[in-house]
């Protein structure tokens, strides 16, 4: 696809902006996991999990290794049957429906390419099985080769490819059939950063253009944030939170989610009361109680709670700033990332907080440096309270 053809289509944003069927109580999900449990002997891989995914949604599963992501996908694809509960597609119970009868295609974490076939034949395989006309097969294979930038390697066999190239073949093969639902298990894990970012945007574009529903597993939370309409964060076979990327980042419901998605400073403390609409939290990290506006939390006096603040929502100063929520410490470490500088500040309490500042101008006359005594501040509405 070139820039001109892309310009003729509606921008992804235009489609995405108005897309939020999960907020519509009338909307029927395309995929429904209904109290699904999967046990392997004694081990519980997925536990009493319920989840709705809507048609045309780009849905990501995010979570640590072994939390049950692949197992969940395999149950939807039909390679595993739930121990309890049901999986429904467009209202139809999928129990007992074999994989090839489901309008679902899965790209495996291990690629599972056919070793004796060329790249092009691997991609064409499913299309030939479906007995598509030869011209159409050729056109699709060509389009897919272009998408994953493997035009020049079409005649090679998988064992003549690098890991990242093999992964791209697997992705192309899964996409070629244009299934209603596409399951991608770590589709971009083996690609370098630049190719990975390009492919992310191509995937989003293709998904909108072909009106497919994507369920994607990734270990990369930035990737999940970039691509998804919604993300489910999983832990130990359960879903901890399902939300849009923005909600997940700004309103994580638990410490696990807060720490799993993005970087965050956690200051442990105790509720000391409520004043003018703000919670007062006593913590060993600050000389005065912290003030947090978080209307979502209902807390009791003396209850242990964490004040969580993202590094970019903190500011760093040489002079003590006016206002609430000031922490005092010493600059331990400075990480210069080009677009951002990250300061690690060692507080008197022994805790270390990370403060990030955007480098808006190229020269700063007298920058804060190592070992300086500094003040770190944040606004009452910049923090979240986490009681779980």
Ligand X SMILES: Nc1ncnc2c1ncn2[C@@H]1O[C@H](COP(=O)(O)OP(=O)(O)OP(=O)(O)O)[C@@H](O)[C@H]1O
Residue ranges in contact with ligand X by CB under 6 A: 40, 43, 45, 63, 65-71, 109
Work out what residue 66 binds among ligand X, Mg ion, none; the CB cut-off runs from 5 to 8 Å by kind. ligand X
Does residue 71 bind Mg ion (CB under 5 A)?
A: no
User: Which residue stretch of 11-19, 62-70, 257-265, 332-340 sits at the interface with Mg ion (rule: CB under 5 A)?
Assistant: 62-70
For residue 309, the minimal CB distance to ligand X (Å) is 29
Task: Tell which residue, 324, 314, 323, has the closest CA to residue 283.
Answer: 324
Report the residue closest to Mg ion, judged by CB: 70
Q: How far apart are the first and last CA of the chain?
A: 47
Taking the mean position of all CA atoms in its chain, how far away is CA 100?
29
Residue 86, CA distances (Å) to 25, 36, 49, 77, 89 in order: 21, 6, 10, 13, 10
Which one of ligand X, Mg ion, none interacts with residue 68, CB within 5 to 8 A by kind? ligand X
Q: At its nearest, how many Å lie between ligand X and the CB of residue 45?
A: 3
Structure tokens at 159: 């064992």
Q: How far is the CB of 293 from ligand X (least distance, A)?
A: 36
Q: CB under 5 to 8 A by kind: which of Mg ion, ligand X, none does 43 bind?
A: ligand X
User: Which pair of tokens denotes residue 100?
Assistant: 């090839």
70 vs 291, which CB is nearer to Mg ion?
A: 70
- Closest distance to Mg ion from the beta carbon of 112 (Å): 13
Q: Whole-number minimum distance, CB 388 to ligand X, in Å?
A: 22
CB of 74 to Mg ion, least distance (A): 9
Strand order of the β-sheet with 31-40 is 43-53, 31-40, 84-89, 92-93
322 binds, among Mg ion, ligand X, none (CB under 5 to 8 A by kind): none
Both tokens assigned to 201: 């945007």
Distance CA 315, CA 326 (A): 10
Which of the stretches 7-15, 25-33, 64-72, 233-241 binds Mg ion when contact is defined by CB under 5 A?
64-72
50 or 160: whose CB is closer to ligand X?
50
* DSSP at 320: P
| Cβ-based nearer residue to ligand X, 50 or 110 | 110
Rank residues 68 and 252 by Cβ distance to ligand X and give the closer one. Answer: 68
Binding of residue 218 to Mg ion (CB under 5 A): no
How large is the angle between the packed helices 119-129 and 134-147, nearest 10 degrees?
140
**Centroid of chain to Cα 315:** 27
- The entry of Mg ion, ligand X, none that residue 71 binds, CB within 5 to 8 Å by partner kind: ligand X
Q: Distance (Å, rounded) from C-alpha 163 to C-alpha 230?
A: 29
H or E segment to which residue 329 belongs: strand 326-336
CB of 67: closest distance to ligand X in angstroms? Answer: 4
- Closer to ligand X by Cβ: residue 45 or 267: 45
Cα–Cα distance, 270 to 70 (Å, whole number): 39
Shorter beta-carbon distance to ligand X: residue 70 or 122: 70
Q: Is 70 in the site for Mg ion (CB under 5 A)?
A: yes
Is 204 in a helix, a strand, or coil?
helix
Give which of 340, 345, 337, 339 is closest to 369, Cα–Cα.
345
- Report residue 200: phi and psi, to 5°: -55, -50
Binding region for Mg ion (CB under 5 A): 70
């Amino acid at each position: 696809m070139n820039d001109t053809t892309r310009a003729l289509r509606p921008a992804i944003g235009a489609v995405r902006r108005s897309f939020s069927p999960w907020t519509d109580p009338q909307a029927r999900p395309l995929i429904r996991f209904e109290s699904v449990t999967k046990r392997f002997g004694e081990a519980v891989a997925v536990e009493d999990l319920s989840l709705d995914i809507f048609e045309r949604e780009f849905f990501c599963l995010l979570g640590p290794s072994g939390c049950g992501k692949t197992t969940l996908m395999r149950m939807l694809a039909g390679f595993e049957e739930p121990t309890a509960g049901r999986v429904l597609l467009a209202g139809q119970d999928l129990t007992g429906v074999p994989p090839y009868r489901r309008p679902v295609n899965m790209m495996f974490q291990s690629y599972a390419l056919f070793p004796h076939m060329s790249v092009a034949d691997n991609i064409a395989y499913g299309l030939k099985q479906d007995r598509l006309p030869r011209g159409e097969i050729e056109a699709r294979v060509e389009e897919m080769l272009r998408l994953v930038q493997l035009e020049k390697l079409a005649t090679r066999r998988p064992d003549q490819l690098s890991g990242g190239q093999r992964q791209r073949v697997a992705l192309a093969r899964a996409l070629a059939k244009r299934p209603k639902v596409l399951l991608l298990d770590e589709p971009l894990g083996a690609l370098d950063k630049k190719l990975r970012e390009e492919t992310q945007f191509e995937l989003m574009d293709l998904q909108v253009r072909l009106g497919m529903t994507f369920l994607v597993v990734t270990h990369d939370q930035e990737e999940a944030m970039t691509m998804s309409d919604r993300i489910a964060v999983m832990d130990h076979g359960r879903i901890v939170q399902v939300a849009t990327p923005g909600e997940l980042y700004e309103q994580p419901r638990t410490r696990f989610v807060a720490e799993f998605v993005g970087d965050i400073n956690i200051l442990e403390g105790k509720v000391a009361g409520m004043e003018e609409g703000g919670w007062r939290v006593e913590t060993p990290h600050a000389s005065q109680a912290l003030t947090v506006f978080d209307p979502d939390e209902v807390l009791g006096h003396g209850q242990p709670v964490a004040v969580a603040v993202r590094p970019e929502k903190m500011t760093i100063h040489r002079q003590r700033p006016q206002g609430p929520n000031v922490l005092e410490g010493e600059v331990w470490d400075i990480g210069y990332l080009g677009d951002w500088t990250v300061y690690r500040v060692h507080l008197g309490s022994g805790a270390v907080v990370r403060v990030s500042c955007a480098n808006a101008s190229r020269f700063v006359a007298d920058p804060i440096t190592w070992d300086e005594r500094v003040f770190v501040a944040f606004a009452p509405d910049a923090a979240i309270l986490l009681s779980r």
